[in-house]
Amino acid sequence: MAVSTADNVKKFTSKQLRRFSRMGFDWNMVLILIFLLGFGLIMVYSASSYVAARDHMGNQKYFLSRQAIADLIGIVGAVALMFVPHRLYNKVWFFPILFYGIAFLLPFLTIPFGISSHGASRWIEIPGTGFNLQPAEVSKLTMILFMAWWLNKYKNNINTWKYFGISMALPLPVCGVIYIVTDNLSSAIIIFAISFIMVFVVSRDYLKTLAVVGVVGIIAIIVIAYVQNTDISESGFRLARIYSWLHPENSSDTTAHQTIQSLYAIGNGGVWGRGLGQSIQKISNLPEPHNDMIFSVICEELGIVGAITLIIMFILLLSRMFFIARDTRDTYAFLLVVGVMAHITVQVVLNIAVATNSLPNTGVSLPFISYGGSSVCFLMADMGVVFEINRSNRAEVRK
């Protein structure tokens, strides 16, 4: 009887797995996502428990519970989007205009309805929920949808300077609004970087791309050279951050405080780390330990081994999306996957680069790991689109 029951369970499980596989579930990618979300919850709790207890009446699980709810909403949203055909976004004529309009106009709602935090109004309160929405995260997704439509429509003309220039200029109004209205330079950079990568993949005219990169590089060198010879007291806020990046030891109590504490945390972790929950820097010293600087806490508690393991998981996730993009016969779907890959890649690189002082300090969350409801919800929405494209690929193969 026991053997028979075990056989029945095994058959039932195999049948269910085959059914989910036919639905388009890439189990490798699902398991990677589960790992990232689960690991993120563990690290959010570890990094935020002290701050939560101090600022929220002893409730150590304040940030953990909110992040868990956001993860669940994100998972539900991803599953829902998995059954919305991606071709719908491309074929309904007003959808691209709607996506661009949302990306451009939504940040303006922070003017009358914005919630101020850390000197900027970047969030809108969702009435009756206790949760906030960050318009910049919505803009990242809608710009991916819009740019995929635009580049798919004009893919045969992108190699001309006219359409290459228009394509590079299209994200600039959205980036400008996000930067000026919400004072969110990091999100503006991310949106432009995503769009740039999508244009680069389609154009295949590397001379134009190198020209753009060269101009940006020259401007960056001029700015850095100027800051090198400028007194920090005479610099603006953004230039002061670059100066602090170049000379953190001169601003350890001001603009470079977060960077210095992050480096201390990484150094304290060594190879194997101090142990989960044993971070010292997260206690009052490291600002935003559960958000922008969570990678530093990971390094301190789990060491270089833990950090490398996390990076490998991101690489595996991106590799799965690469294979989905490779197997896609539809240019629009291909561009959507590329946009999502660019979104995750840029944020991972920027977050780790800031934590290790490889780039000037700017607030960028670590995808699926950092605390932030808007971020994880719309990242999971990205993944829902990718899952749907994978499901569509498999359906075409079966034909």
Backbone angles phi, psi at 305, to 5 degrees: -60, -45
Residue 296 pLDDT level (bands cut at 50, 70, 90): very high
- Domain membership flag for residue 23: no
- Domain membership flag for residue 11: no
Average pLDDT of the segment spanning 44-67: 90
Residue 1 pLDDT level (bands cut at 50, 70, 90): very low
Question: What is the number of domains present in the chain?
Answer: 1
Q: What ranges in the chain are assigned the alpha helix state H?
A: 2-22, 27-55, 62-81, 86-91, 95-105, 110-113, 135-153, 161-169, 171-182, 185-203, 206-228, 237-246, 257-269, 294-326, 331-355, 373-398
What pLDDT was estimated at residue 191?
95
- Domain membership flag for residue 199: yes
Kindly report which listed range (89-98, 189-198, 299-308, 325-334) carries the lowest average pLDDT score.
Answer: 89-98
Average pLDDT of the segment spanning 358-384: 90
- Domain membership flag for residue 6: no
What is the C-alpha to C-alpha distance for residues 179 and 136, in angstroms, rounded to an integer?
10
Specify whether the CB–CB gap between 283 and 376 falls below 8 A. Answer: no
- Domain membership flag for residue 338: yes
Residue 70, pLDDT above cutoff 70:
yes
What pLDDT was estimated at residue 24?
57
What pLDDT was estimated at residue 185?
84
- Domain membership flag for residue 253: yes
Buried b (16+ CB within 10 A) or exposed e, 25-40: bbeebeebbebbbebb
Q: Compute and round to an integer the Cα radius of gyration of the chain.
A: 22
Q: Tell which wins on pLDDT, 399 or 272.
A: 272
- Domain membership flag for residue 322: yes
Residue 245, pLDDT above cutoff 70:
no
- Domain membership flag for residue 13: no
Q: In this prediction, what percent of the chain has a pLDDT beyond 90?
A: 45
What pLDDT was estimated at residue 29?
92
Range of the domain at 185: 31-398
- Provide the mean pLDDT of the chain: 84
